Amino acid sequence: MVSIILFAPLLGAILAGFTWKLIGETAAQWVSTALLFLACLLSWIVFLGFDGETQQVQILRWIESGSLATDWSIRLDRLTAIMLIVVTTVSSIVHV
């Protein structure tokens, strides 16, 4: 769910930016707005269902060499959950 929160607004921006001539301007606006509101809704679900335990959510394995393992991951704690709802809610309101 956290990866959807991360990538949904990015996907909406890419679709609206590169395919608006194919799908139309109104459809591009609806797609980008819907994906941003999806991220906002999922952020609220993560915040309200957060149990206070810090989690490490791995998105992608980046470098692995010998004993070095570097991942692209998100640390989900109380501050991250609060910032998720603040950023996505304000972004959704500004977008509309």
Paired tokens of 33: 């707005």
pLDDT tens profile 36-84: 999 999 999 999 999 889 999 988 888 889 899 899 899 999 999 999 9
Residue holding tokens 């501050």? Answer: 79
C-alpha separations of 60 from 57, 65, 83, 96 in Å:
9, 15, 22, 32
Report how far residue 28's alpha carbon sits from residue 22's, in angstroms, rounded to the nearest whole number: 9
Report how far residue 25's alpha carbon sits from residue 18's, in angstroms, rounded to the nearest whole number: 11
Report how far residue 62's alpha carbon sits from residue 73's, in angstroms, rounded to the nearest whole number: 10
Residue holding tokens 């606006």? Answer: 29
pLDDT tens profile 24-35: 999 999 999 999
